[in-house]
Chain A
């Protein structure tokens, strides 16, 4: 499916924030320009407090922009009739739904709200859409169950199906993976990505899970504190340094070579690492966790750690003329923690 370049949701020089009781505006972020195209999955990431939720709420017309206009298709989103807006945009929020005696099916059916008459009765087409939405997110076995009995991951799928049943052009999701464990996070992202490919709908979601966002999103929207917004393919934003800059102030260092964050280093000692494959990768992470600067083999350093291939692998530490071997990473780390372990050999 080709990704259309026509924006379904766009804004130029948007200022977001809120207005205090006595009319003083508080700007959260400004100079935000954005375009969301049909069929793409965009992840909105940024440090805490940068205004991700405020931006989402503004894009969903749940709160007014302080300046600038959000356009849904060609129309100003604030001026749009609420019913028409609900036909073009649906939202999944972080708040937990306490649905009482509602079945998953009935909850998804509520998504037909903008299409049904005043009685809320579902026509044949409505029922077909509800079923299609449930099947598309892979939740058919859950249909007859009460929402209360579903796990967090199952519930999130049902909420996504409900949003899908609104047949929107754009779906906005606020932290859809926030309360989920890792397999469920990956599964939800897989479902969302499949949705954009399958239906040509645009999905914008905010997330803290940068790693997953980097792997899944067609594009990232990076929101540093105060703005402006950086938009681009995840890889481009990594290479340009925008990603590292956005999270700089957080006490985290983004490592472009691994695509993940490392804690700001505690030590300045260097360790040279030699070895290949998974074992070397995880050894590197363990050393970084300990606070060492891991450098390429051959660089002058305090220690040299070599991963010896084998099943299971072994680890050798060299310091000057001293050398010892270890059975596990735990033993390796323990040895490194000993003050001058080599002298005692």
Chain B
């Protein structure tokens, strides 16, 4: 580069930088995050004690430590059912909240959720094809039920994963060609509507029992995930979360819009693909294993921004992961109606419980300022 005389930027002495009382601080509020983590662990253990049978905390801790509790059946209940369910809820809540945050920032839209790209519609279509099309083909319901029993939940998971994966592949291909994120958003919505329409057709021509089975799937549940399924679910979610974590810096640049991000050296096309991949894998995996769980993905990012009063993704991403897990666990505890045999639909609980909380936080802390960071 040719000789250019530039006045150097004054090197502020370290002591002066340290005397930063008059300047705002940008650091991550580790203490607040630690507090959230502590609460999450507490609620996690609490969720192991509650259910159709109440198990005392001491016994739960004994079981987790590998010791004998007061009653032997409790070991089975905790290890075989409640522990995988709690782990699933934690992972799913984190995944949906983080995916929602990514979509809201990428599309600069406060209403964006993890499913804006049609991922859950793809999954729904996959499940509907397996559950409903049998009725159309004229195969008797009893043989279908037997078939489902053989396949178990993995059949639904595979169907949903294939559906979500197909939509994801389609959207990634489109995203490579389309420059405008708004166009991408609209195309995603159209794919979603298309898939939903196919599901409606399948429902229309299906029989009552199959329809009921499909509707049960749409209620969402953390309880259907077994240990062997967790061996697939957990690594997928953790890897996608790691990818999300690696993208916090470009996401921050995207706060100013794609053009500004580009002028700051962000390879916007590549980042967009990576963000879509991360969010879609998170949302798709959760939908495949737990059903289409709404609300968490759209609400938790707003909650996190208002609680932490920040738009910095280095803080928001972990905050969303923790808050999302917390909300999912609490919703699951309530859905189980502790002390009763009744189980409420998870989707109904997350929204009924969460909507007032989010509304309250935003109204109390809020102002006319847009709640999203875009």
A interface residues with partner B (beta carbon < 8 Å): 1, 4, 6, 8, 38, 60, 62, 73-75, 82-87, 89-91, 93, 95, 97-103, 105-107, 109-111, 113-114, 116, 118-122, 124-125, 127-129, 131-132, 143-144, 146, 148, 166-167, 169, 198-201
Contact = CB atoms under 8 A, between A and B. Distances in A.
A103 B135 CA distance: 58
B4 A169 contact: yes
B246 A128 contact: no
A199 B7 contact: yes
A128 B374 CA distance: 27
B52 to A, nearest CB: 42
A6 B2 contact: yes
Q: Is the interface of B mostly helix, strand, loop or mixed?
A: loop
Contacts of A99: 255-256, 311, 373
Given A6-B4, A99-B373, A82 B266 contact: yes
Contacts of B372: 100
A119 to B, nearest CB: 6
B137 to A, nearest CB: 44
Contacts of B252: 110, 113, 120
User: Which 3 pairs between the two chains have the least Cβ-Cβ distance?
Assistant: A86-B265, A120-B249, A100-B373
A90 B263 contact: yes
Nearest to B313: A120
A197 to B, nearest CB: 9
A118 B249 contact: yes
A113 B4 contact: no
Nearest to B2: A6
A93 B11 contact: no
Nearest to B312: A106
Contacts, number: 144
Interface residues of B, number: 46
Given A4-B4, A4-B5, A62-B259, 9 more contacts: A1-B7, A38-B4, A105-B24, A106-B312, A107-B256, A110-B264, A127-B20, A128-B17, A143-B24
A98 B264 CA distance: 17
A106 B4 contact: no
A125 B16 CA distance: 11
A226 B252 CA distance: 39
Contacts of B17: 124, 127-128, 131
B14 A100 contact: no
B369 A114 contact: no
Contacts of A103: 24
Contacts of B342: none
B373 A200 contact: no
A82 B26 contact: no
A91 B260 contact: yes
Interface string B221-249: 00000000000000000000000001011
A143 B26 CA distance: 12
B65 interface: no
Contacts of B248: 119-120
A62 B24 contact: no
Contacts of B5: 4, 38, 200
19 contacts: A73-B4, A74-B2, A86-B264, A90-B263, A93-B259, A95-B257, A95-B259, A101-B369, A105-B26, A106-B312, A110-B253, A110-B264, A113-B249, A113-B253, A119-B248, A120-B249, A120-B252, A131-B12, A148-B370
Interface in B266-285: 266-267
